[in-house]
Structure 1
Amino acid sequence: MHALIIDDSRTMRIILRRILGDLGFTTAEAGDGQQALDAIAAGPVPDLCLVDWNMPVMDGYTFVQRVRANAEHRNITLMMVTTESSHGHVVKALAAGAHEYVIKPFTPEAITEKLELLGLVRNGVPA
């Protein structure tokens, strides 16, 4: 499975890349939502996007809306991974089409658990 990590923090991208790599995912990275849309258009289309909310150029919420507006990309699993912890942000992201929501800071186990709930990981390996 292929994942796209979308976060303006290089450190956070490294952390998530390691977690996903340990689970057997191949990964690509983008520093904002627009870079991520460009990467999806160039291919390969990811199975999973881990999306930060607060980024320059295009935030994660707008990215989720844009992906969901494109019928060709509706099968991409979207998981918000962000510091935005208010109930309103969670509801807004899920209503826009995110499948899951993880609040930073997180543990590798929390990411793995969410991916298991989404059916993307079974027993620590991609499904």
Structure 2
Amino acid sequence: MILGGHADERGTDEYNRDLSERRAQLAKSFLTEQGIPADNLEIQAYGKEQNLSADQVRQLVEENSELSEEERQSALQRMHTLVLANNRRVDITLSTTGQESTRRYPFKADDYAKLLDRNSATRGGVELASQKKKIEN
């Protein structure tokens, strides 16, 4: 599997490459904690090279069947913030087939509001995946 780390448009190219590498490394750590051998996971850091456009994010929101029409309209009103948030991600690609993970923003996650809050002066409050319980198979 290839873990492709991404970063939003803010920051320098070097900063975003390093950030996206750390982001992909955290995903790798989580997956190895779930029992996937580290040797099966490759990291690629894209920085802001492969960002989703506003049109692509709009399409993802419009196609998201988990959202009510009211939630969809609310999300679309915060498009710039939503584009930034969607570009802070790790995509998973199967190296044998090229199949990519589905891109779906976690609107129903408990910490959704914190993930989109650009004005909060506080840090933290978002639980790292590595701190959560192991997923039972």
TM-score where L is the length of structure 2: 0.30
Name the structure, 1 or 2, with higher relative contact order (CA <8 Å, separation 6+).
2
TM-score where L is the length of structure 1: 0.31
Higher share in strand: 1
